[in-house]
Amino acid sequence: MKLEVVGMADPLADPLADPLAERAKRPVSAALAGPYGHPFHPILVTVPIGAWVGSLVFDIASHLVHDPAFLAQGAMWLIALGVIGALAAAMVGFLDLFAIPPGTRAFRVGLMHMTLNLLVTAAYAGNFLWRHAGVGPTGSVGGGVLALNAVSLVVLSISGYLGGKLAYRYGVRVADEITQAEGFAPAHSRPDRPTG
């Protein structure tokens, strides 16, 4: 006896047979969002993630050294670098979101991912302005900006989990399984080279 659920695709069916899933794998614009199977968004998100993690490390370290001003200033500029990188990643991420068919689970996850990332970017922009107010950082960072940095990083981690779900669970902007299988075919030696 086969159990059928109305309105649900068979999870064991060929994923290539689903035109909605195939649409989410293709870029809206290869020149802007990256070619098929190699999107730019995952590459660009490394800039804000690295900068913002580094800024938290600098914030914490500013409480552990004798002359903390250079760490506080470094954290402030890492935050600025992260905001610029996040805006670049967001522009490409919007294009990837437009490739996902509306009304699907993947689209809802994509909207949540985008919303959290925009909130985190706004929080870091505010954090930069807070630090830059007046004469800028001159000593250890204050507890408020450090807490905002840490909370923003936690929210960014949640958003990163959702981004991973888009790619690894729903296959958004991931090459189809036939294309992926090319990577597991035996490598053949070139006939014009000796094999010994």
Q: What is the pLDDT of residues 69-81, one digit of tens each?
A: 999 999 999 999 9
Q: At what angle do helices 69-99 and 46-61 cross, to 10 degrees?
A: 160
Confirm if 106 and 24 have CB atoms less than 8 A apart: yes
Q: Please give the pLDDT value at position 82.
A: 98
- Long-range pairs, 61-70, Cβ under 8 A, ≥24: 62/139, 62/140, 62/141, 63/140, 63/141, 68/139, 68/140, 68/141, 69/137, 69/138, 69/139
* pLDDT number for residue 12: 47
Q: E strand or H helix at 150, and its extent?
A: helix 143-164
Does the pLDDT at position 94 exceed 50?
A: yes
User: What pLDDT score was predicted for residue 19?
Assistant: 65
Please tell me which residue, 15 or 92, carries the higher pLDDT value.
92
At residue 17, the pLDDT reads: 55
Task: State the distance between the two ends of the chain, measured CA to CA, in whole angstroms.
Answer: 57
> Measuring CA to CA, how many Å separate 63 from each of 22, 154, 179?
51, 21, 51
Position 44 confidence tier, pLDDT thresholds 50, 70, 90:
very high
User: Can you give the pLDDT at residue 23?
Assistant: 57
The strand ranges marked E within the chain are none
pLDDT above 90: residue 20: no
**Confidence at residue 5, expressed as pLDDT on a 0 to 100 scale:** 41
Contact 21, 15 (CB under 8 A): yes
What is the pTM assigned to this prediction?
0.77
pLDDT band for position 11 (50/70/90)? very low
Alpha carbon 192 to its chain centroid, in Å, reads 43
Secondary structure element (H or E) that encloses residue 173, with its range: none
* Per-residue pLDDT, 2: 47
Q: Give the per-residue pLDDT at 8.
A: 44
* Mean pLDDT over the full length of the chain: 83
Integer Cα distance of 95 and 92 in angstroms: 5
Of 39-43, 127-131, 135-139, the range with the highest mean pLDDT is 127-131
> Which residue type does 46 have?
T
